[in-house]
Chain A
């Protein structure tokens, strides 16, 4: 059995008091405990940003990489050892800005990993510039006259890219988010979980109670998670903000199609003495 206490790293988070990242951290620990995954079997991978400091605050293996680049190493780790649970976390700037190419391609690959995006619609660590998800017209430090760009809709993008598990949570509803993350990790294939994460410092105009007022739960609204077109329609909603699972379907994962790691992950293959005579044949 793994408890939430087993996952405490002993390091105090450095986030602002009230930051939505606390809720996400608690939910991730809760999900790993719920699934009883041993700490050494989990790798939490991140990029750079406020939320990307998360690997230090959870007692598992961690890989805190480069800004925008959490998904490639997460993929490399998974392909190296597909018996591990790999969870990538990062902000909306990290994932939908600088890391957008990796986001789209990781979704289409259906690599068995879970990607949690701390989506606060702002750049926090760089002190309050517009993010890809910042809604058109919003005034930020880098857009004092309002954002001109149309905002990114990450749920639509992962649906379009071919993700097999697409969900959205709210950092202010920890039990719901815990359950979402647990389902995402349990899902065979890629899981994209975008999380509404209030930024109490730079987005005072997007407080917890606004989210609470706007959101509704897809699973309480009778949404069919296997209906792609319905998922797309829900992702288009702007008046009310749906949370929960948009889409969840089975599909062969990337590693399902690699025969030689069916029985044993790559890392367990013996490399002490590789015979290359077959390879050299064609040069003789």
Chain B
């Protein structure tokens, strides 16, 4: 009996073969059919050659990461057959280029899968160009699933529209050739089939793309950035929409310049951001402290990759948490938030710009390669109804009544001082990297120093605990056998893992921490204290969040499952590990 609306897909090939675009098109077609898709990639740091893959999981229910083995593998080269044929689910199909792989069956040594070897290059050439061999393969995958060809046709039309009708037509012809070929190549109906579900249009969007959406919606008008994987697509997206959204996008000479530039723009009253990875963030450290001292609003996206140093540039890690919390000398308040999925990225990016102005602090949004480049199916972000809030930025009228000299760094009760921007009368001040008095003038007096440190430190406490509290999923507190703690992008694999655990009879509760600073100590301690059994999962070798929890709550989580092979967690490994802990198979 065919499985309806659930399918896993993988495409592999050399860099430059359009692996990611085939994968994303596959996912988008199924998303268009009303389903939920999750897609993610894996590739080395090079432009041509190597081995790239893109994998997709599709489900009628919300899906948060890859779940299960692939049912369809497209091998655009021999290496993909070598690496992935063994992982194909029983009854699955291997689509390969019969010119490049002569003996797929001998290589795979499996009788329980279908072999669909098509002369992809010749078919593409017949349709109008060899370069479209990947489109032929995509068509073949759709043919297996008997997906309505009109959906693929529509997607290709949208994708290639800017290249003109001839290119659109050629791609559609290439896809149709693949579609017809595979439909006739299968001797019996495929194990999975797709039925169209009517539904409002959803988004298929990755962490970086969603972060840009949140930033644009929040009124970010200035981006200064130096390219660095995996943050560079933020630069490209912003630059691509420069004139649509009146955003000045500046590629700078280095990350030092980028951070200092956004501090200047923020001081001048424009919402500004930069994006980088750990290496670039290290270069921004001094500017980060300056933003803290000056109380200049700024938003820094830091998409973690495996470090230290150059590390593994295109692979993921969650090892910059303590760096984000501690970078730069001295003591100053900062906000550090780690979204867990594309929805979180949108919301927390938007919030970051509000918080930066409300608190007059730098805000670091901690992403990672896995989150930055994995795509999630989300409902339209307009549902969130977020509002721009600019805090104590004074109007010209308010400034007209301000006593002189203007006290930009007034010792206010909650630590937030009135703010003026250049161009405004009665708001003159020097925004200084030196310690300063209430007017901004340099001061080395002990008393002033203490008052300013305390004033700045008070600011973080205005964020209510409920805003920064972790989210809980799965079994209720009273029924849970075990509490699973995670942060950032581990959210997706963990959400799928608790579903699997439920099927195994393990009642798992999950606590996902987003805000590392300020930290919801009360909520976290309460959850930890009430749990019968607790384990933390982190993508680093030092259990950095565990250290932070211990520091903030005094609670030490004994058990930690740490992954630092520079790959994301899988739900299976989480579920397996937790089952063993719970004494189940």
Contacts and interface: CB of A to CB of B under 8 A. Distances in A.
A29 interface: no
A226 interface: no
Contact of B425 (A40, A260, A273): A40
B282 interface: no
Contacts of B261: 72-73, 75-76, 79
Given A53-B442, A69-B260, A267-B421, A80 B430 contact: no
Contacts of A73: 260-261, 263-264, 267
A271 B221 contact: yes
Contact of A77 (B201, B287, B422): B422
B82 to A, nearest CB: 34
A62 B213 contact: no
B431 A62 contact: yes
B443 to A, nearest CB: 11
A248 to B, nearest CB: 25
Contact of A69 (B221, B256, B432): B256
Contacts of B263: 65, 73, 76
A272 B217 CA distance: 9
B370 to A, nearest CB: 18
B341 to A, nearest CB: 14
A41 interface: yes
A81 B381 CA distance: 30
Interface in B380-403: 380-382, 388
B208 to A, nearest CB: 12
A69 B288 CA distance: 13
A258 B257 contact: no
Interface string A243-284: 000000000000000111100001101011110111110011
Contact of B264 (A41, A76, A278): A76
Contacts of A69: 256-257, 260, 287
A64 B430 contact: yes
- What is the size category of the interface that chain A forms with chain B? 35 or more
A71 B290 CA distance: 15
Interface stretch (B173-181, B246-254, B452-460, B524-532): B246-254
A101 B248 CA distance: 21
A80 B265 contact: yes
Interface in B407-436: 421-434
A65 B216 contact: no
A11 interface: yes
B22 interface: no
A188 interface: no
Question: Chain A CB within 10 Å — which of B253, B264, B290 has the most?
Answer: B264
A35 interface: no
A55 interface: yes
Interface string B197-233: 0000111110001001100111101101000000000
A216 interface: no
B269 A267 contact: yes
Given A76-B272, A260-B246, A280 B381 contact: yes
A105 interface: yes
A97 interface: no
A258 B382 contact: no
A279 B216 contact: yes
A105 B267 contact: no
Nearest to B203: A283
Nearest to A69: B260
A273 B388 contact: yes
B252 A72 contact: yes
Contacts of A64: 430-434, 442
Given A56-B430, A69-B260, A76-B268, A266 B221 contact: yes
Contacts of B265: 76-77, 79-80
Contact of A280 (B203, B222, B248): B203
A76 B262 contact: yes
Contacts of B266: 76
A60 B290 contact: no
B270 interface: yes
A192 interface: no
B245 interface: yes
Given A62-B429, A76-B222, A40 B424 contact: yes
A135 interface: no
A59 interface: yes
Nearest to B421: A267
B205 A283 contact: yes
A41 B425 CA distance: 9
Nearest to A278: B244
A91 B531 CA distance: 60
A267 B219 CA distance: 11
B269 A80 contact: yes
B37 to A, nearest CB: 12
Nearest to B260: A72
B201 A65 contact: no
Contacts of B221: 80, 266, 269, 271
A50 B244 CA distance: 44
Nearest to A109: B250
B267 A79 contact: no
A87 to B, nearest CB: 12
A127 interface: no
Given A63-B264, A80-B270, A283 B204 contact: yes
B428 A60 contact: yes
A267 to B, nearest CB: 5
Given A65-B260, A80-B265, A271-B221, A279 B431 contact: no
Nearest to A271: B219
A245 B160 CA distance: 54
Those 9 A-B pairs whose CB atoms lie nearest each other, nearest first: A271-B219, A76-B264, A73-B264, A62-B430, A72-B260, A80-B268, A76-B261, A80-B270, A76-B265
Given A75-B250, A77-B267, A279-B213, 18 more contacts: A40-B425, A40-B427, A41-B423, A55-B430, A65-B264, A69-B257, A72-B260, A73-B260, A76-B263, A76-B266, A81-B423, A101-B253, A259-B243, A261-B246, A261-B248, A274-B217, A280-B205, A283-B205
Interface of A: 11, 38-43, 45, 48, 53, 55-56, 59-66, 69, 71-77, 79-81, 83-84, 101-102, 104-105, 258-261, 266-267, 269, 271-274, 276-280, 283-284
21 contacts: A38-B425, A39-B428, A56-B441, A59-B428, A61-B431, A62-B431, A63-B432, A66-B433, A73-B267, A76-B224, A76-B262, A76-B266, A76-B272, A81-B421, A81-B422, A258-B248, A267-B270, A269-B246, A274-B216, A276-B381, A279-B244
Interface of B: 201-205, 209, 212-213, 216-219, 221-222, 224, 241, 243-246, 248, 250, 252-254, 256-272, 286-287, 290, 294, 380-382, 388, 421-434, 440-442
